[in-house]
Structure 1
C-alpha cells in the first residue's frame, strides 16, 4: 500500500489545491460554466433555448494510511455531470442536474479490518455508503427546481444546493449534500440578508437516493448512546421536516452579525449567534476577530420515545463557544481559533447534513458527538495571484473526554493533534477550466486508546492523502 502510494505521488506531481470543503459563508461553486443571465422575452421557448449548460468532470484519489498492523485503504473515483438552467422568464427559472460516478480501482472496501472489524471511513464516501459493493451504478438526479427572482432576491422550490452553518454542501467527496424543499434568500433590505426555508428531504454526499429529513439521519455511523449501548436511531425517527431562518446584518464596513436557527420538528433545535469584526490597517491589511455561540435543545423525545432509538436524548442540551483572532492582507491570511463545547451534553448535528460551523474546523475530522471539548487551531493561508495558487495550513490540538466516557464521546474518539496541508491551483491557457487539488492530513493520538485499536483505526495515528482534479465547462 505504502509503495503504491509513493508511486502515485511521484506520477501526480505538479500543482494541487486547497480546502476540500465549501466555505459555508460562500456560494456553491460546483457548476462554474458561463453565468450570464439572459433578459426576459415574450417567449418561454426563448428562455429554454437561451439557457445555460454547465459541465463538470471530477477525478478523486484518496488513501488512508493507518498505523502498522491495521488495514490501509485507497480508492480512485471518476465522474461527471451536466446542469441546465433556463434563462429568466418573467422572473422564473428552471434548473436540473445529474451526476454519475465510477469506482475505477480501490482496495476491498467491502472487507473490514480483521483486528477491529472496522471498514473504510473516508474512501467509501466517494461512492455509495449504503452499498459497499456498488462500483458502477452510482448516479443521482441532483437539482430539480423552479426559482423565482425579484430584484436581488429569489425563492427556490425543489431539489437544490444550500449553504448554511448547519446544513451545507460539505463538498469533500465526489458530490455534495443536497436538500429538497422551499428556500428563500432576500437581499433587498439595506445591509441585511434574510434566509428562510422548509426542507423535507435530503440526499447526503456519498449516497444515490433521496431521503426524508428523518430517514437521512443515521446513514453514516451512529456511534453509541450516552450509556454506551449501540445507537439504533436509523430508520426509527419521526419528523415533519426542517425549518430554517437566518439573518445576516452588516453594521457598517467592519462589523457583521449573524443568527441562524434550525428547527428539526420532533427532534431538536439548534441556534447560532455569531459576530465578525475587521479593523483596517494602513498597509492594506486588516485585523479580524470573531465570536460564536451555539445552543441546542431536544424537542419532545428527541425523535423516538424509546431512548435507545432516539437521536437527541429527551431533555438533552448542548452549548458551544468560539473565538478567533487574526491578521490578513491580499496574500496572507492568519488566524488563531478556539472552541469550547461545554460538559452540559454532546453537540449533535447529523453528519449527513453538513460540516460543523466551528472556527476550529479542519477537514477530515469533526467534533460533532462530543461534549467537554477544548479545541485550539492555528490557520495560515498564502495566495500567489499570478500563479493562481492558494495554500492553507492548519495545526490543531483537540482535548476531548476519554474515548470510553460515552455520555460525552459518541464515536470513541481520543484526544488528538491534527495537521492539514491544502494546495489549490487553477490552470490557464489551453487548460483553462481545470483545477488541481491536494490535501494531506495527519492526526496524531494524544489521548488514551485503552489498548483497543477500535479507537485508533481511521481516527488517530493516521495519514490521509487526497488528489483531486476538476474540469468545469
Structure 2
C-alpha cells in the first residue's frame, strides 16, 4: 500500500512536468515512475524516454518532442531553431514532499539529459485565525542551469546556451474564509538568463500563474497577481477571478524575451459547475481570459498578434469516469 510503480505510458503530475491544462487528451509520458509514501513523506522518482503532448497525434522521443510548439527567437540572433537538432536520452525526475494539515513542503529536481537541469522548491501552509478564517502563506524558488552543450554543440541549434543559468522566487499571502479565498501572489525571475522548460512537457505551477499564461522563455520578469475563489451550492459551483500585471524584458532583448512578449495585464474569469447524482463526473466550465498590453509607445503588430490585446473564450464540457 505504501509503494506503487508504473511502467509504460501513463499520466504524471508535478509542478513543472505534468498533464498541462484543459484538453480532452492531456500530456502523457512513457517510461518508469515509482512512488513511496510511508506516511506524511512521499518520494517520487521517474525516467521518461517518450511523450505525447496535448494537441499532437503521435508519440515522440524526448529529444524530438522539444520544439513541437513554436520555438520563439534564437538568442544567438540566428534564424535556425533547435527542433529536430537536439540529443537527449530522456527526462529524470526526483520529488520529495512532506505534508501535514497546516504545512506542505516540496522539492523537485528535473534532469533533461544533455540539455538542462532544474530544481524547484516550495513551502506553503496556513494558520488558524478568528471566526474560522485561515491565513495563507507560501514561498517558491527554482534554479536552472544548462548541461553540457545544451543539446547540440552548435549554439544556434541548442535549446539552452552553454553556461546559461537563471533562478527565480515566488511568494503568496492571503486569507481563506469559509467558502472563499483571496491571495496576493508574486513571481520574480533573474535577468541572468531565461527560464526554460519545454512547453510540450507541461505548464509551470507558480503561485502567480493563471489560465492561458506561460512564463517559459523569459528572464528579468516581475509579475504581481491577485486571485479570488468562491464556492457555492456545497462546493458544486466554483467562481474564480484573477488579475495580474507582468513586466517583461525589452522586446528587442532576444536573450531574455524568447517569444517577444510585451508588458501586459492579464484578467481571467472561470465558472465551474460539477454535477452530482446521475450526472456525477460531468463538469461544465466557462473560461474567459483577456490580455492587454502595457506600453507607453506603440509596438509593432508582430508583437501584438496572438500575444496581447485579445480575449479568449472557452466553453468546456468534461466527463470523468
Tell me the TM-score normalized by structure 1. Answer: 0.66
Indicate the structure (1 or 2) with the bigger Cα radius of gyration.
1
Return structure 1 stretches of 4+ with deviation > 4 angstroms. none
Q: CA deviation at 1:332?
A: 0.4
Report whether the alignment pairs 1:247 with 2:92.
no
Deviation, 1:259, is 0.5
Q: Measure the CA separation in 2 of the matches of 1:459 and 1:358.
A: 20
2:58 paired residue number: 209
Distance between the aligned counterparts of 1:182 and 1:232, measured in 2?
30
What is the deviation of 1:229? 2.8
Query: Offset of 1:349 from its aligned partner?
Result: 0.5
Per the normalisation by structure 2, the TM-score is: 0.96
Q: Distance in 2 between matches of 1:220 and 1:289?
A: 35
Does 2:72 match 1:223? yes
Q: Quick check: 2:182–2:227 contact (8 Å CA) kept in 1?
A: yes
Q: Are 2:81 and 1:232 equivalent residues in the alignment?
A: yes
Aligned position for 1:145: none
- Provide the C-alpha distance between the structure 1 equivalents of 2:299 and 2:136, rounded to a whole number of angstroms: 43
**Cross-structure match for 2:123:** 275
Give 1:435 deviation, angstroms: 1.7
Residues 231-269 of structure 1: CA deviation (Å, up to 9, x unaligned): 51001000110110000123x542221110001110000
Partner of residue 301 from structure 1, selected from 132, 146, 149: 149
The alpha-carbon deviation at position 358 of structure 1 amounts to: 1.3
Aligned mates of 1:260, 1:431 — CA distance in 2: 37
- 1:57-456 mapped onto 2 (5 Å cutoff): 151-188=1-38, 190-250=39-99, 252-386=100-234, 388-447=236-295, 451-456=299-304
In 1: Cα distance, 2:299 partner to 2:184 partner: 34
Instruction: Report the CA distance between 1:471 and its aligned residue.
Output: 2.7
Task: List gaps (5 residues or longer) in structure 1.
Answer: 1-150
User: What residue is the counterpart of 1:30 in the other structure?
Assistant: none
- How far off is 1:283 after superposition? 2.4
- Paired residues, what number? 321
Contact 1:223 1:230 in 2 (8 A): no
- Structure 2: segments with no counterpart, 5+ residues: none
> What's the offset of the Cα at 1:329?
3.2
